Chains A and B, each alone.
Chain A
Amino acid sequence: MTSSSAPSRKALSKIACNRLQKELVEWQVNPPAGFKHKVTDNLQRWVIEVNGASGTLYANETYQLQVDFPEHYPMEAPQVIFIPPAPQHPHIYSNGHICLDILYDSWSPAMTVSSICISILSMLSSSTAKQRPADNDRYVKNCRNGRSPKETRWWFHDDKV
C-alpha cells in the first residue's frame, strides 16, 4: 500500500529535530481536540489518530494520519496522508492522499502539526457527502509506484469543503 512509501529518508537536520521536539512538547501540553499522537520512538514519522467531530458525517469514526517530516522541516512541508482505509471525502483519495493546499503550495514554516490536524478535521467536518474525488481511480492508479503526494501537481479548485 502507498502509505508505506517513505519520502526520501534523509535524517532530520538539527534545526528540524529541535523544532519537532518543541512541537511534541507543546502537543503533550495542549493537544488539538480530537487527535491523539501514537507514541513511537521515531521523531521523523508521527502517527496520529483522528476522531471525527460529533455532529458531522464522520462522527464516531476513527482514522489514522501519517506525518513524515523532510530533512529541512519546517522549510519544507511534511508529507501527510491517511493510512488506508481513508475517510470518504471529496478531497481524500482512497490511497490516503489529501488534496489540501496547506500541505503543498500554501505551506508555511509557521504552521505546525497541530495546525495541520485542525485544518484536516475542519475539512472533514465541512463535508456534505461521503464520496471520493471524481478522478480517484485514475489518480490512485498513477500513484501505484508509491509516489508521494508531494510530487503531485495539485489543483486546488474548491474552497468550500
Chain B
Amino acid sequence: MASGFDESTSSSSSMGNGGNEAGNFECNICFDLPQDPIVTLCGHLYCWPCLYKWLHIHSHSQECPVCKALVQEEKLVPIYGRGKTPTDPRSKSVPGIHIPNRPAGQRPETAPPPNINNFSPHGFGLMGGFAPMATARFGSFTLSAAFGGLFSSLFNLQVHGFPNATLYGATPGFPYGFPNAFHGGHTPFFPQQPANQEQQADNYLKLLLLVIGVLVILALISS
C-alpha cells in the first residue's frame, strides 16, 4: 500500500501510534487537540477559533461541519479541563480577524444542600407543603358548601388532601389571615412520618382542620 512513503512526516509521526484514540478529542477542523475547546449541541468538538472562523468567515451557513445541524452560538458548550492552555492563544489568530472570546458555560444555580428537614419532624420546611393545600381547598368549599355540610366536607378534605400535600410548592400567603404560629405548632405531625405515626398524625390533622373550619366560618361571618 503506502510503499512509496519515505517522506518527512516525522513531525506528525509522534501522534501516529496513538492517533486513533486521541482522535476522540481532536478538533474536527484542524485535527489537533482543541484550543479553547467547545462542543456543539450535536456533540461535535472544535477549537473555538476554528469553529468561529468557519461560521463567520468561510461559511455562509450556521451548520455544524460534521453533521450539518444548526449551530447557535449561545448554545455552544465550552469545555473547561484542568490544565492551562498549553498554546499561545494567539497561535490561531489571523491578521485582520478578531476572534471574540469563547462563549462561557451556562452555569445552573448552585445545587441546594441535602434537605435534612425531610427526615426530621421539626422545622418549618414541612409547613411549606401543608399550607397551600389548605388554602386551595378552602377556596373551593367556601364558595360551594353550605355551613351545615362544612364539617363533613372537612373530613373528606382531610382524607383526600393530605397524601398529595407535598406536591404543592412554596407557601403562598394565607388568604384568610390565619396566624402563622397556628400552623407552625402542628407541622410536626405532617404525614411524611413512618407509617406507624400516620394514624396519630391523621387525628391531629382532623382536629386541626376542624379548628381551621371554625376560623373560616368566623372569618366569613366577620367579613
Least distance between B17 CB and chain A CB atoms (Å): 9
Residue A38 CB within 8 A of the other chain: yes
A39 to B9, CA, bound (A): 12
List of B residues within 8 angstroms of A75 by Cβ:
29, 53-54, 57-58
Task: State how many angstroms separate the Cβ of B14 from the closest Cβ of chain A.
Answer: 10
Count of interface residues, chain B, beta-carbon cutoff 8 Å: 29
Contacts of B68 in A (CB 8 A): 108
A23 to B65, CA, bound (A): 17
Point out the residues of chain A lying under 8 angstroms from B57, CB to CB.
75
Interface 1/0 per residue, A21-54 and B, CB below 8 Å: 1111111110100001111010000000000000
| Count of A-B contacts judged by CB separation below 8 Å | 68
Contact check, A31 vs B1: say whether CB atoms are below 8 A apart.
yes
* Interface SS majority for chain B: loop
B28 at the interface (CB under 8 A from A): yes
> With the chains together, A72 CA to B16 CA distance in Å?
24
B76 interface contact, C-beta 8 A = no
Report whether A24 and B9 are in contact in the complex, using a CB–CB cutoff of 8 Å. yes
User: Contacts A15-B92, A27-B2, A76-B58; is A21 near B66 (CB within 8 Å)?
Assistant: no
Chain B residues within 8 Å of A41, by CB: 7
Chain A residue with Cβ nearest B12: A21
Produce 1/0 per residue, A69-104, CB < 8 A to B.
000101110000000000000000000000000000
Given contacts A21-B12, A22-B12, A39-B4, contact A74 B19 (CB under 8 A): no
Residue of A nearest to B2 (CB): A28
What B residues does A55 contact at CB under 8 A? none
B54 contacts A25, C-beta separation under 8 Å: no
Chain A interface residues (CB < 8 Å from chain B): 15, 18-19, 21-29, 31, 36-39, 41, 72, 74-76, 108-110
| Listed A/B pairs (21) with beta-carbon separation below 8 Å | A18-B30, A19-B31, A21-B11, A22-B19, A25-B12, A27-B2, A28-B5, A28-B9, A31-B1, A39-B5, A74-B29, A75-B29, A76-B58, A108-B65, A108-B68, A109-B29, A109-B54, A109-B58, A110-B29, A110-B65, A110-B66
